[in-house]
Structure 1
């Protein structure tokens, strides 16, 4: 795998995680989870994490590919992530939390494997 492929995969996973956090930040989807705190403070934290992950996703794409192809890769990753999150939120809303954690963990694993030269 080349560095650009790993960067695009990390972008997709980060975008998936960020949109899952933003989806969970709405009272409707957070209220579907039993036993979770539906306070405005918790929702604000999820919004901040989601927006920070989106900013980091954009930073990866623009840093690796430059402004022209980096934005193209970014919009492709965002489109794919939005369709996946919408599908999961519509048919299996309980899967949003694991998806947010798995996406962030996978992106960190890809970045560290690339940095260490494993892949």
Structure 2
């Protein structure tokens, strides 16, 4: 199989961070986990704003803030479009899908923090 050059290269395997909040890792342990994954060639990490009741992206971001050099060694992928009922999003009174520009922009801005 021949492959075409990718404008945004990603690793052949992406590591999903859906249940990161359940791993009960310290930031140091998470950093070690990420470094090990990168060492094995897994450099793409998959997120979504709703993962971990809206907490996984910020946990991952806090880890990256402690070792900023890791950010240059990875690709981050995220998704949005779902509004979950959550204490972390009290304005979401119903579980709905929302692909409006305002929701996407808010989700992206929150993910980038």
Which category of TM-score, normalised to the shorter sequence, fits these structures?
A: under 0.3
- What's the TM-score once normalised by structure 2's chain length? 0.25
Larger strand fraction of residues: 2
Higher helix share: 1
Between the two structures, name the one with larger relative contact order (CA 8 Å, sep ≥ 6): 1
